[in-house]
Structure 1
Amino acid sequence: MKIESITHLGLGRADDGTLVPRVLPGEEVELTDDGVRVLSPSSDRIAPVCRHFKACGGCAMQHASEPFVAQWKTGIVERALAAQGIDAQVEGVDTSPANSRRRAKLSGRRTKKSALVGFHARASDTIVEIPDCQLLTPAILKTVPALVELTRMAASRKGEIGLTVTDSIDGADVHISTSVELTEQLRVDLAAWANEYDIARLVWGDEPVVTLRPPRQKFGDARIVPPAGAFLQATKEGETALQSAVQAIIGDAARVVDLFAGSGTFTFPAAKTANVHAVEGDKVMMAALDRAWRDTQGLHTITTEARDLFRRPLLPDELNEFDAAIIDPPRAGAEAQIAEIAASALKIVAMVSCNPVTFARDAKTLIDAGFEISALRTVDQFRWSPHTEVVAAFVRSKM
């Protein structure tokens, strides 16, 4: 069979409609009992850089050249916009380097003799160990043996344990998702484990167990301790690219509202030159952001508001107090809040999105209200995966 195209999920679509993983357009392939045999490889096919690629489900596109992946990801964004009747071209792609992913959501399972920790195989519950993973930072890879010991100690024999580990300035920040009960003896054992492996913070579900050092992240000039499991841009390089793009969009705006502000990824850089009002649904995030602002010298005023922007978006009279807006919603987009921005007098919006489809939907609302896209870039923090992020400038010259 011949591969005609690649879907937005990274699967090859054959001429008979069959979806095939890890192939490229133009290739002749045949399906075998062991997987896929490529009969005529594309000139864009390369050798995967990671020895785990064939078994692990963490990456989808290591078999493709970087120019091909960049073009494929920009195409995903441009097609999503075209589906909304928007003719716009991506100006460029900022791709994070290998071994730069600073947060990993790993899975752990006990075995008869020890434990397994790693990523799932593609479309499978099988856990694949990843000692030579080319995605994760060296600091996270160094914690894997500790996570194996943690899994052996704390997981049940019947199910998996979720292990989210974040690379912070002060060491590993570990968050455990499990149905296992946190007993007093287990609490003691976990404290000993954290001390043995020098883990900065360990949180079990919603309950902090050990904090040897508050796990700080740097946003602009500020040092902040995000709540356990709080949203964080996947790589520092990707975060820097997004911050630079957002700063260029808001320019010399004196009053900025940061919607879906999280822990302040864009708030703190903006506060070097503007007064910023940060809005986010999570009270704990807003409290952490406020503490970090008070501890940081040289910033303009930052105010915070804990508010569910899906159910209670800022209204036009509130938005009209600002010169520019930054908005970075979750994958569902920000349909309600974008509608209020469209009805406001705002003229500059910097929008960041991790979902090209909802981004295009929200962009259509702004364009219909008189905005134009004056800049559009793709930021590829999720290297070798189907995920892509977008940052765009929306400017309205007249109402």
Structure 2
Amino acid sequence: MSNSALIERIAARGDGVTGDGRHVAGAVPGDRVRDDGIIIPGPNRAEPPCRHFGKCGGCELQHVAESALADFVHDRVVGALAGQDVPVGEVLPAQLSAPQSRRRAALTALRTGKQVAIGFNAAQSNQIVDMRECPLLLPELFALIAPLRDLLADIAPPRRPVKVKLQMLDQGVELVLEGVKAEGLDAAMALQDFAGAHALARLAVDQGYGLETLWQPEPPTVVFGDVTVEVPPFAFLQATTAGQAALVDAVTRAIGDAGAVADLFAGVGTFALSIQQGRKVYAAEGARDAIAALMGAANRARALVATEHRDLFRRPLIPAELNRFGAVILDPPRAGAEEQVVQLAAADTPVIAYVSCNPASFARDAKLLVADGYTLDWVQPVGQFRWSTHVELAARFSK
């Protein structure tokens, strides 16, 4: 009989890993893998809920049971910090978003003849897996997939990919189509009819000349705290409302009762507006449409939020500016915020609440902060990209 090795963890890309470092596709902690590659199932496996699992690139980990999935999200953060030798007070249990809760998605559609495939790309390829079910998306988003096939059969260019972006806003679903040719009266009417029939909050199309809004009965909005924001097309929002709530709660705990707070990479105000009650907030963001939306919302609500359109990669806040604040919130893109972190490390801001969508770049930035006297008090892992290897977190640093 073959010898077998125990799968001890899941690697960053979703493979199972044995104690001696062997990677095994599709294996889960607690499985055993024989010398001939056969996997002997362990207690941490789950029946994948979707027929597309294994082909679709939207989910890598549907075969992993809930507790092992939470461990994976937690351990990704622990492993990233250990890799940079960053000491941490506590890594809290991971918070996972539920199935059917993803409120935003960027899909691809391809028309061949009158047939339209629409879905996520296949794993590690440009093939599109035609989505016939999806346990990930909000039902309201998935309900548009079949009608979209019919619409795109008439207006999508043949054999040219079309980007299909869906997002749930307060008024309903926002749909952005990139790469269609909506020329002529018939196409224009088809788009208007589709938007009306499905009560879309907004329909915008990019035919190669920039985004045009074709349907918007009223300004589409989202609410942060008690402030309503009129958001630009496909504005960046957290992927699930539960994930957003977990991150906002962690940031609120991290900054405590700090009187004046800076929110850097503020976007449309997810954190700035959620924590602004009773304190002054400075919000900086490099995307002009996002900071304009935040400024408009703050002004209408008479919130004490000062906004600045500022490229924090080229012009980070320096220590003299940072030292005016009792706390700084940092929510950079995936690559991290090394230029801004270098300035923060040299400052005396008492608290930093760092929100990250990449444990590796977070750990690299954490190393810089800790080397200059900050303590990493705790990290809250958040798995809002359910069944994927994409892990988010919020952390508290103090000095």
8 Å CA contact retained: 2:284, 2:307: yes
Identical columns (%): 38
Instruction: Pick one of 324, 333, 337 that aligns with 1:334.
Output: 337
> What is the correspondence of 1:213-362 to structure 2 with a 5 Å cutoff?
213-296=218-301, 299=303, 301-362=304-365
Q: What is the CA-CA distance between 1:215 and the residue it aligns to?
A: 2.2
Q: How many residues align?
A: 388
- Cα distance in 1 for partners of 2:12, 2:69 equals 11
Cα distance in 1 for residues equivalent to 2:117 and 2:16: 31
- Give CA-to-partner distance per residue, 1:201-252, whole Å, 9 cap, x none: 1122322222123221121111212221221100000100110110111111
1:372·1:394 contact (CA, 8 Å) conserved in 2? yes
Partner residue of 1:34? none
From the superposition, tell whether residues 43 and 212 of structure 1 become closer, same or farther in structure 2 (CA, over 3 Å): same
SS at match of 2:393: strand
Deviations 1:112-142 (A, max 9, x none): 3342222222223332233431111111111
Q: Which residue of structure 1 aligns with residue 56 of structure 2?
A: 56
SS of 1:360's partner is helix
Distance 1:14 1:151 in 2: 46
What are the residue-to-residue correspondences of 1:155-170 with 2, within 5 Å?
155-170=156-171
- From 7, 10, 18, the counterpart of 2:14: 10
Shift of 1:17: 7.4
Q: In structure 1, how many angstroms separate the alpha carbons of the residues matched to 2:233 and 2:358?
A: 24
Q: Distance in 1 between matches of 2:102 and 2:276?
A: 26
In structure 2, distance between residues paired with 1:304 and 1:262: 11
Give the CA deviation at 1:40.
1.1
Aligned pairs for 1:19-34 (under 5 A) are: 19-25=23-29, 26-28=31-33
Q: Cα RMSD between the aligned structures?
A: 2.2
| 8 Å CA contact 1:131, 1:141 repeated in 2 | no
TM-score, length basis structure 1: 0.91
What secondary structure does 1:268 align onto? coil
CA contact (8 A) 1:146 1:197 kept: no
Once the two structures are superposed, residues 14-71 of structure 1 have per-residue CA deviations (whole angstroms, 9 ceiling, x without a partner) of 799775432224432699xxxxx85411211121122332432211111111111211
Query: Which residue type is aligned with residue 137 of structure 2?
Result: L
Between 1:78-87 and 1:120-129, the stretch displaced more is 120-129
Evaluate the alpha carbon distance shift between residue 207 and residue 99 of structure 1 in structure 2; reply closer, same or farther with a 3 A threshold.
Answer: same
Task: Show the counterpart of 1:67.
Answer: 67
| CA positional deviation for 1:385 | 0.4
Alignment of 1:47-196 (within 5 A): 47-88=47-88, 89-178=90-179, 180-185=180-185, 186-196=187-197
CA contact (8 A) 2:108 2:120 kept: yes
CA distance in 2, matches of 1:29, 1:307: 55
Give the Cα–Cα distance (whole angstroms) in 2 for the partners of residues 82 and 28 of structure 1.
27
1:89-117: CA deviations, max 9, x gaps? 41111111111100011111113334222
Is the partner of 1:384 in helix, strand or coil?
coil
Q: CA deviation at 1:355?
A: 0.5
Residue of 368, 371, 379 corresponding to 2:371: 368
Question: Does the C-alpha gap of structure 1 residues 74 and 51 become closer, same or farther in structure 2, counting only changes over 3 Å?
Answer: same
Deviation at 1:144, TM superposition (A): 1.4
After superposition, the Cα gap between the structure-2 partners of 1:349 and 1:43, relative to the gap in structure 1 and judged at 3 Å, is same
- Note the 1:190-209 alignment, pairs <5 A: 190-205=191-206, 206-209=211-214
Measured at CA, do residues 39 and 330 of structure 1 come closer, stay the same or move farther in structure 2, by a change above 3 Å? Answer: closer
Q: Distance in 1 between matches of 2:341 and 2:330?
A: 9
Q: Are the structure 2 counterparts of residues 23 and 289 from structure 1 closer, same or farther at C-alpha, using a change threshold of 3 Å?
A: same
Q: Give unpaired runs (5+ residues) of structure 1.
A: 32-36
Q: Identify the residue that residue 391 of structure 1 maps to in structure 2.
A: 394
CA contact (8 A) 1:163 1:177 kept: yes
Tell me how far apart the structure 2 counterparts of residues 54 and 9 of structure 1 sit (CA, whole Å).
14
Taking the aligned partners of 2:144 and 2:390, their CA distance within structure 1 comes to 25
Mean CA deviation greater in 213-222 or 330-339:
213-222
Residue 12 of structure 1 and its aligned partner are, at CA, apart by: 3.0
Shift in Å, 1:291: 1.4
1:184 Cα offset (Å): 4.8
Q: Distance in 1 between matches of 2:35 and 2:222?
A: 48
Rounded to whole Å, the distance in 2 between the matches of 1:169 and 1:46 is: 34
Counterpart CA distance in 2 for 1:10 and 1:170 is 36
Letter in 1 for 2:28: L
Gaps of 5+ in 2: none
Instruction: Verify the 8 A CA contact 1:96 1:383 in the aligned structure 2.
Output: yes
Separation (CA, whole Å) in 1 of partners of 2:333 and 2:383: 16
Q: Distance in 2 between the 1:234 and 1:369 partners?
A: 33
TM-score computed with the length of structure 2 as normaliser? 0.91
Conserved? CA contact 1:172–1:215, under 8 Å: no
